[in-house]
Amino acid sequence: MSCLKVSRLLLPMLAGLLVAAPLHAQLPERARDYPLGTRSKTGEIVAPMFNGWIANEDGTTTLIFGFANQNREETVDVPLGPNNMLEPAQFQGAQPTHFPVYSRRGFVGIQERGAFGVVVPADMAGTEVIWTLTSGGNTYSIPGRATSAAYELSAGVSAAGSLRPAIRFSEGGPESTNEVGIYAEPKTVKVGQPLTLSAQMQDRGERDGYADVVPYYDLGTFWAMHQGPAKAEIETPEIPGSVRAENNPIDPYVNEWTEVSTQVTFPEPGDYIIRLRVDNFEAPDSQFDNVCCYSNAYFPVTVNP
């Protein structure tokens, strides 16, 4: 190709670059790198997310929230207060204060979905629950509201009979089958002293009549720090259902409760909450990080010097 032809090809490209640069410069500074720009290692925002709502049979409404840490490396901590609050005030305290970096597969790979949920009483039907979070020098508020059908979720049986797994702390005790979860009795431990946290989990699938679908599946577990003044060390943060099936497979025809546990060590005194998520992502009608397919439980811990 001649030099003349090459020059003619390059001219439109150069002209486009010359036009694009001034347009980019006209954007507000905070908009130049968001949302399509490369995320920085540190200094980015943590975005509060509203994941959806569920209309409960008793007239209450469950609102489900998550978050997305935009940093590539920096874990962010935002204590409860004016920089991390839920309104109305009666819901304050359910949200996380510890926001790790996640790099998972798929479109929502950096988001932690269903980190917590709140139940709006029937006599407050239509009330918005607003989560305000300040991080990276910016403040964002996300309303949780039960007005859009696009955000409505089902707590019922999935396409091949799956239901959210159940979690309990003891036989005959309260059970969690959703993101709102249940809270264990508070525990007390000293700094640096390992603490064992345990619960029982169960696949509740109703899969009779579904061809090539076994009744029950190996459940996955994910332990995460939810609140606290310093990062807790969790011995076994995550065991996917596929790994559990390889190491200690359940009998898929026996619906038994399985005990799960991990050890947690706390580096500083203060009040902490550890969250346990149990999922059935191995089921054919489930999928990683789908809000439909897991339940939460929470462990409050007071750490003394």
Express each pLDDT in 36-52 by its tens digit: 567 889 999 999 999 99
Is residue 14 situated within a structural domain? no
Residue 5 scores a pLDDT above 70 = no
Residue with tokens 């940093």: 71
Give the model's confidence band at 177: pLDDT under 50 very low, under 70 low, under 90 confident, else very high. Answer: very high
Give the model's confidence band at 290: pLDDT under 50 very low, under 70 low, under 90 confident, else very high. Answer: confident
Query: 12 or 226, which is more confident?
Result: 226
Q: Of the residues 151, 177, 205, which one is the last residue of a structural domain?
A: 151
Is residue 159 situated within a structural domain? no
68 with 195, same domain: the answer is no
294 with 267, same domain: the answer is yes
Q: Taking residues 174-188, what's their average pLDDT?
A: 98
- The strand pair at 138-144 and 98-99 is best described as unpaired
57 with 124, same domain: the answer is yes
Task: Give me the percent of the chain exceeding a pLDDT of 90.
Answer: 80
Q: What is the mean pLDDT of the chain?
A: 89
Q: Taking residues 95-109, what's their average pLDDT?
A: 87
139 with 244, same domain: the answer is no
Give the model's confidence band at 139: pLDDT under 50 very low, under 70 low, under 90 confident, else very high. Answer: very high
Say which range, 153-157, 221-225, 301-305, has the weakest mean pLDDT. Answer: 153-157
275 with 179, same domain: the answer is yes
Q: Of the residues 127, 151, 175, which one is the last residue of a structural domain?
A: 151
Is residue 172 situated within a structural domain? yes
Residue 149 scores a pLDDT above 50 = yes
Q: Residue 197 and residue 188: Cα distance in Å, rounded?
A: 12
Is residue 16 situated within a structural domain? no
180 with 278, same domain: the answer is yes
279 with 178, same domain: the answer is yes
Q: Which amino acid is at 151?
A: Y
118 with 217, same domain: the answer is no
147 with 174, same domain: the answer is no
Number of domains in the chain: 2
Burial tier of 63 (Cβ tally within 10 Å: 0-12, 13-18, 19+): buried
Q: Taking residues 88-93, what's their average pLDDT?
A: 98
| C-alpha closest to that of 280 among 206, 211, 221, 198 | 221
242 with 205, same domain: the answer is yes
For residue 99, give both structure tokens. 């926001």
Is residue 31 situated within a structural domain? no
138 with 195, same domain: the answer is no
Query: 229 or 13, which is more confident?
Result: 229
Residue 31 scores a pLDDT above 80 = no
pTM of the model: 0.87
Give the model's confidence band at 28: pLDDT under 50 very low, under 70 low, under 90 confident, else very high. Answer: low
pLDDT at 29: 57
| Residue 55, strand partner residues | 61
57-74 per-position pLDDT tens digit: 999 999 999 999 999 999
Q: Of the residues 124, 151, 178, which one is the last residue of a structural domain?
A: 151
| C-alpha closest to that of 250 among 216, 281, 284 | 216
Residue 4 scores a pLDDT above 80 = no
Q: Residue 34 and residue 91: Cα distance in Å, rounded?
A: 30
Query: For the domain that residue 202 is a member of, what is the CATH number?
Result: 2.60.40.10
CB 302 within 8 A of CB 195: no
Q: Residue 140 and residue 83: Cα distance in Å, rounded?
A: 10
pLDDT at 30: 52
pLDDT at 107: 62
Give the model's confidence band at 11: pLDDT under 50 very low, under 70 low, under 90 confident, else very high. Answer: very low
Q: Taking residues 156-181, what's their average pLDDT?
A: 96
The residue range of the domain holding 64 is 46-151
Is residue 15 situated within a structural domain? no
Is residue 156 situated within a structural domain? no
Is residue 3 situated within a structural domain? no
94 with 180, same domain: the answer is no
Query: For the domain that residue 113 is a member of, what is the CATH number?
Result: 2.60.40
User: How is the chain split among helix, strand and coil, in percent rounded to 5?
Assistant: 15, 35, 50
CB 288 within 8 A of CB 105: yes
